[in-house]
Structure 1
Amino acid sequence: MRELTETEGLPGFEDRVYNVMKREISSHTNELETDNLGSIVGKVGSGKNKVLLAGHLDEVGFIVSAITKQGFLRIKPLGGWWGHVLLSQRVKVLTKSRDLTGIVGSKAPHVLPPEERKKVLPIDKMFVDIGASSREEAESFGVSVGDPVATVCPFEPLANEKLLLSRTWDNRAGCYIALKVLEKLKGESLPNTLYSGATVQEEVGLRGAETLANKIAPQIAFATDVGVAGDIPGMNQEESGLKLGDGPIIYLMDRSMIPHRKLRDFVMETAKQNDIPYQVDIMSGGGTDAGKFHVAHDGVPTLAVSVPARYIHSHVSVVHHDDLDNAVKLLCEVIKKLDDNMVQKITGLE
């Protein structure tokens, strides 16, 4: 968990976390598949029908868009951000030669007029201070336009050690789940062939999901991700009824997909049969890789199985260990039951 969540991997710049994922997948199987963008899965089993299970490697962050004459960096977002969570936060600029600490600059409250205090500063008005006094000095540090900029926050269990803090649970949680499922099923006599791993560039358009699904051509697919927990002050049931510790999430709909009903019902029934807690949710403001998996080729029955997380798309996020464990348990039980007859029952028109 620590290495997965602390290793950087911005959209289009997933190399570092890709190498961690590749090493971990390789510890469970020698059969790896990749697409040409950097998505990666491990293969176990030898059944006729293929099951794809994937989180996404990339995290939200920024890209350097300009260097000012004074040596400050302008940035553009990679993924969705809300300006309120950014000012005065530490960041890491990943140059080709070394990593540089930076700070998203902000004005002191002493000089803020009342009308400015009420506004959210647009990201294109923000700047990153790396301690340079000129463009030339910044460039001498190794910075170039196009360098990725990552958040900074170490992995840490909170006082309740089942609550886990990190900067990148969206979506290293999905990567962790995919790895644990691969680990637990590698010695099983599966009735199918499982491809389990992670995609790239989800945060900027589900791009790796499209290429990976076309590469693998699965009969059934699962996306593993995070959802917005609603168990904090200021949230209401209409925004989110999800709670940390109440089980993984089965999405009934999101912006990118309405799940295949037979697969959805099969997964929910499997959870009930195995006393695995789960939550259901409708997410109107976001999507997952399932949005691309399900429209690959002539259509793939797909479901998103996620875990609730607090504070995503910021420098910090919190998940519950039990939700991760129960997501792994549920997906393992489901995959073990996906034999030829069950796949035909799900995909058939009867």
Structure 2
Amino acid sequence: MKTYSLLTELSQLDAIASNEREVSNYLVSKINKPHIKDGLGSIIFKEGVGPKLLLTTNMDEPGLIVTGFTKDGFIKFQPVGIHFSQSFLHQMFTITTKNGKIHAVSTYKPYSYLQPEERKSEFPLKDMLLDAGFKSDIDAQKAGIEIGDMITYQHKINRLGNDLVIGKGLSNRSAISLLIELLNELNTSDVELNVAFTTQKSMSMKGAKTVSYMVEPDISIAVYAYDAMDLPGLDSRGRKLGSGPMVAIYDQGLIAHPKLLRFVREVAQKEKISIQEMYLETEASEGGYLSLSKTGSACISIGIPVRNRYSSQEIVSLEDILETKRLLKSLILALNSNTVDKILFE
């Protein structure tokens, strides 16, 4: 399947906040449309004439940066983005250096050394190190590792049952994959379509701010990923894998524009696309910043459900990705000057 092939390639790229070049270079090679970049590295593909529509998703994944070395060759680091610390220990990582990629594993005190109360506690990231097999700090530096080098999770993508896929970075790479396919499939529309792949979500969503300022959209859609809650004992309403795109009515940064929300519901019903409406009190998407573009834009966040988010083994549904793409494509084709005016001004 084309979507799985894209995900496989995207998942193996390494990109943390402020160092997203591997992904942006890949996008240029895959999307044959005009593009521009902002000063931070966000990339915007644009086509068509009409009211301005902006779709965004971020390129960066959770990762680390090198902050130093111990005398015996272990590597110190600073987390970048959100990490689920309970699953961090003994994971494989990739250090991207000027000389290439270096493998490492996260490490901590041996189990036999821990006191009984320590074994029951969460291990703090600040006390962990990376082991790349070096015997001294000089060895590590001779290998090309420098302060500030990017570190990312290392995990190959795999298929699970029921069209589920597991791998690293899939929460944002699934959104990137569907937007690549969307851009390559769309030949015409009645809007000026801007699709932006943004930088530095993990650092205050900087890319969302700059691209919204550049585009000045009338309508904007943040294409995001949200936690799936379909595990035993949790309230999974509106947040299930395999049940279609998630439409955020409310998150920490954005209340969905009421008329745009109604428009999304009408299009989904007409096209027989199942959507999951949900509320999120603990997290914000890029939508909050997109809505503040200069004079403001009508905005909504549409997301893909993800299990094990912020880990090296995120799980997504191929069916959810395809249905989210179908919803976005249907919305784009249904927008024109009249429908945009109705959403914004009536």
TM-score scaled to structure 2, two decimals? Answer: 0.95
Query: What is the CA distance between 1:108 and its match in structure 2?
Result: 3.2
Separation of aligned partners in 2, 1:49 and 1:176: 25
User: Which of 10, 13, 23 lines up with 2:16 in the alignment?
Assistant: 10
1:133 aligns with 135
1:221 maps onto 2:223 in alignment: no
2:4 aligns with none
TM-score scaled to structure 1, two decimals? Answer: 0.94
- Tell me how large the CA RMSD over aligned residues is: 1.4
Counterpart secondary structure, 2:309: coil
1:145 maps onto 2:151 in alignment: no
Separation of aligned partners in 1, 2:176 and 2:220: 15
CA contact (8 A) 1:55 1:172 kept: no
Query: What is the CA distance between 1:82 and its match in structure 2?
Result: 2.5
1:256 aligns with 253
Counterpart secondary structure, 1:242: coil
Separation of aligned partners in 1, 2:161 and 2:326: 25
Separation of aligned partners in 2, 1:197 and 1:178: 9
From the superposition, tell whether residues 257 and 325 of structure 1 become closer, same or farther in structure 2 (CA, over 3 Å).
same
Separation of aligned partners in 1, 2:165 and 2:123: 30
Code of the residue aligned with 1:192 in structure 2: it is V
Q: What does residue range 63-212 of structure 1 map to in structure 2 within 5 Å?
A: 63-160=65-162, 162-185=163-186, 187-188=187-188, 190-212=189-211
Code of the residue aligned with 1:250 in structure 2: it is V
- Identity rate, percent: 29
Separation of aligned partners in 2, 1:316 and 1:258: 30
CA contact (8 A) 1:179 1:197 kept: no
Residues 64-110 of structure 1, C-alpha deviations (whole Å, 9 max, x = no match)? 11211121111111101121111011101111111110010033322
1:41 maps onto 2:44 in alignment: yes
Separation of aligned partners in 1, 2:30 and 2:303: 21
Separation of aligned partners in 2, 1:8 and 1:57: 10
2:60 aligns with 58
The answer for unaligned runs of 5 or more in structure 2 is: 1-6
1:32 aligns with 35
Query: What is the CA distance between 1:276 and its match in structure 2?
Result: 0.2
1:246 aligns with 243
Query: What is the CA distance between 1:37 and its match in structure 2?
Result: 0.9
Query: What is the CA distance between 1:134 and its match in structure 2?
Result: 1.1
Code of the residue aligned with 2:57 in structure 1: it is G
2:26 aligns with 20
The answer for unaligned runs of 5 or more in structure 1 is: none
Residues 1-36 of structure 1, C-alpha deviations (whole Å, 9 max, x = no match)? 21111111111110111111121122xx2x112211
Separation of aligned partners in 1, 2:183 and 2:300: 18
User: Which of 315, 339, 342 lines up with 1:342 in the alignment?
Assistant: 339
Query: What is the CA distance between 1:271 and its match in structure 2?
Result: 0.3
Code of the residue aligned with 2:103 in structure 1: it is T
User: Which of 208, 233, 236 lines up with 2:234 in the alignment?
Assistant: 236
CA contact (8 A) 2:96 2:102 kept: yes
Counterpart secondary structure, 1:69: coil
Code of the residue aligned with 1:51 in structure 2: it is L
Query: What is the CA distance between 1:241 and its match in structure 2?
Result: 4.7
Query: What is the CA distance between 1:269 and its match in structure 2?
Result: 1.4
Query: What is the CA distance between 1:240 and its match in structure 2?
Result: 6.5
Separation of aligned partners in 2, 1:293 and 1:24: 25
From the superposition, tell whether residues 241 and 263 of structure 1 become closer, same or farther in structure 2 (CA, over 3 Å).
closer
Residues 284-321 of structure 1, C-alpha deviations (whole Å, 9 max, x = no match)? 12121112111110111111111101001011111111
Separation of aligned partners in 1, 2:181 and 2:135: 47
Counterpart secondary structure, 2:83: coil
